[in-house]
Amino acid sequence: MQAMGSLRQFWRKLALPPPHWDNLPLALSTAASTAINGSITAQTAFKVQPYDAIPNTGNAWMNLIHFWRGNHFQQMHQVMLRNFQRFGPIYREKLGTHDSVNIIMPQDAAQLFQSEGILPSRMSIEPWKAHRRLRSHKCGVFLLNGEDWRSDRLILNKEVLNPIGVRKFFPFLQEVAADFATLLHRRIKKNTRGTLTVDLYADLFRFTLESSNYILYGQRLGLLEENPNAEVVQFIRAVETMLKTTLPLLYMPHGLLQWTKSKLWQEHIDAWDVIFSHADKSIQNIYQDFCLGQERKYSGIMAELLLQAELSLDSIKANVTELMAGGVDTTAMPLLFTLFELARNPHVQTALREEILAAESQSQVQHDEIKILNHVPLLKGAIKETLRLYPVGITVTRYPQKDVILHNYHVPAGTLVQVALYPMGRSPEIFKTPDRYDPERWLKKDDNNFKALAFGFGSRQCIGRRIAEVEIMLFLIHILKNFKIDTVSKADINTVFGFILMPEKPPLLTFRPIH
Ligand code: HEM
């Protein structure tokens, strides 16, 4: 009953109308329920409820029409928040072809991930797969499942996620981050006021694209030097369009995709074609150098994969293209949100700057720059804090491989389950004062298990996680050492969901050099 009371408080604090408490399951304890060897053992005093008893959002097709008409796809994160408020901490969402169980509590996420097995499987992105089929491209790890996924993933992990791989591309990310600070200094010098007030949205895309391109192909694009050439602008637009068009296409029947000649579908295919042709050009350049037997030094992830020859050329292409498409917007958005939060929370900004300066004075760091990453816990907390409030993907999905009990409901193996990260991050039931940007919360002894899930979980978690974390940390280190950041407005940013979470209107930020 105590849990019920605090959940009630949660909704009250959200200033939303009271939920239908009748819909709450009888028992709120999931920790006491476990799925063992495929058979369910409920250790609660309450009777486990059947799957069909999970509260649901009603007719799938009516819901889809409602979504299309109201353009609710862009507000999916807010819709989910309201649905948890209406139905309680677990509900079934039916939308077109899509039928999922949505959960919010970290304990339920823990139950789910414990039942994912050794070949975890995520919600399929059918429009992306349809493009690969149409163009006879192979799929990379994002789209693969089963043993095919596992064998590619184990090979890629070594160069992309594991510490030895990270150490190799660290200097490349360091170089691009330093160049970004130089770019801002250059712009400030041109300005008589000695400061720069700017919407950094486009520049952050250039930064993340420059970084990704460098670590994948070992080549600089020069995006931080001069105005980007038309081809690069086209690539960035294509990634944006690909992400934006994914969401509405996701809920259409699979068969419809291929033969509908809808504008949306055509835009989607064209965007992927541009992404693939960009990757293809870069791959061909590097492949030529490689075949010419250029002097052997580390020149990026792609070259390492070619050298190791553990994956076929087609698989390398498919995976490297996915890494390229997956690494630009996903990292640019948290950078923008972090800068904004630091600008409107000057005390956090100062604390981070002091931590960085102290870390740099450590003798280990002076001999080995990568070690700085071990001496900046608050900075790591800041990244977690940004992703709590603004998770790039608003859910993490799984098809459990065996039956599982979630919030005292029986959920059969193979059901699509979504952990709702955005509502979780904003819930006062789960985070104290959730509206506060407080990186220190991650350093306290509180139970933070299954609360930092922005990169997913386990063996299927984001393979670009280390790239993103290191890229963001180095960027912030260079910016904080060089500039004080301020913002024109401290008001909350409205967000929209276009397959990733983005600001509706990018904030204006002011940079003042620290002399
Ligand atoms: C802050 C930045 C990022 C966030 C928050 C993020 C988040 C995620 C999440 C939630 C998943 C699903 C994980 C799961 O199901 O457990 C994922 C998968 C993936 N991400 Fe990221 N990502 C980020 C950056 C990147 C970057 C920089 C790259 C590429 C360089 C990348 C490439 C991928 C790929 C290829 C997968 C599929 C992995 C697999 O299924 O084996 N991501 N990401």
Residue 412 belongs to a domain: yes
Classify the phi-psi angles of 20: left when phi > 0, otherwise alpha if psi is within -120 to 50, otherwise beta.
beta
ipTM computed for the complex: 0.99
- Please give, one letter per residue, the 3-state secondary structure of 335-394: HHHHHHHHHHCHHHHHHHHHHHHHHHCCHHHHHCHHHHHHHCHHHHHHHHHHHHHCCCCC
CA atoms within 13 A on the CB side of 366: 5
Amino acid at site 497:
F
Supply the DSSP symbol for 481: H
Amino acid at site 301:
I
Split into its structural domains, the chain has a count of: 1
Residue 369 belongs to a domain: yes
Output the domain CATH number for residue 385.
1.10.630.10
Q: Are 473 and 380 in contact (CB under 8 A)?
A: yes
pTM: 0.89
Q: Are 475 and 352 in contact (CB under 8 A)?
A: no
Q: Is 462 among the annotated ligand-binding positions?
A: yes
Residue 25 belongs to a domain: no
Distance 358 CA to ligand 1 centre (A): 31
Q: Is 218 in the pocket of ligand 1 (CB under 6 A)?
A: no
Residue 98 belongs to a domain: no
Residue 195 belongs to a domain: yes
Residue among 216, 217, 330 whose CB has most ligand 1 atoms within 8 A, to mutate: 330
Both tokens assigned to 73: 């796809």
Give the domain extent around 147. 126-513
d(CA 401, CA 399): 6
Q: Is 392 in the pocket of ligand 1 (CB under 6 A)?
A: yes
Q: Is 327 in the pocket of ligand 1 (CB under 6 A)?
A: yes
Ligand 1 atom index nearest CA of 397: 15
Supply the DSSP symbol for 49: B
Q: Which of 167, 203, 202, 166 is nearest to 182 (CA)?
A: 203
Residue 114 belongs to a domain: no
Which tens digit of pLDDT belongs to each residue from 3-17? 444 444 444 443 333
Atom 23 of ligand 1: nearest residue by CA position: 330
d(CA 320, CA 301): 8
Residue 438 belongs to a domain: yes
Q: Is 461 in the pocket of ligand 1 (CB under 6 A)?
A: yes
Walk along the chain (515 residues) and give the pLDDT tens digit of each residue.
344 444 444 444 433 333 333 333 333 333 333 333 333 344 445 689 999 999 999 888 888 888 888 878 889 999 999 999 999 999 999 988 889 999 999 999 999 999 998 999 999 888 999 999 999 999 999 999 999 999 999 999 999 999 999 999 999 999 999 999 999 999 999 877 889 999 999 899 999 999 999 999 898 888 887 666 777 788 888 888 988 888 878 877 666 666 666 788 899 999 999 999 988 888 888 777 777 766 667 889 998 998 899 999 999 999 999 999 889 899 999 999 999 999 999 999 999 999 999 999 998 888 888 999 999 999 999 999 999 999 999 999 999 999 999 999 999 999 999 999 999 999 999 999 999 999 999 999 888 999 999 999 999 999 999 999 999 999 999 999 999 999 989 999 999 998 899 999 999 999 999 97
What's phi and psi for 394, nearest 5 deg? -80, -10
Residue 19 belongs to a domain: no
Which tens digit of pLDDT belongs to each residue from 362-406? 988 888 889 999 999 999 999 999 999 999 999 999 999 999 999
Q: Are 272 and 130 in contact (CB under 8 A)?
A: no
Q: Are 379 and 476 in contact (CB under 8 A)?
A: yes
d(CA 174, CA 372): 12
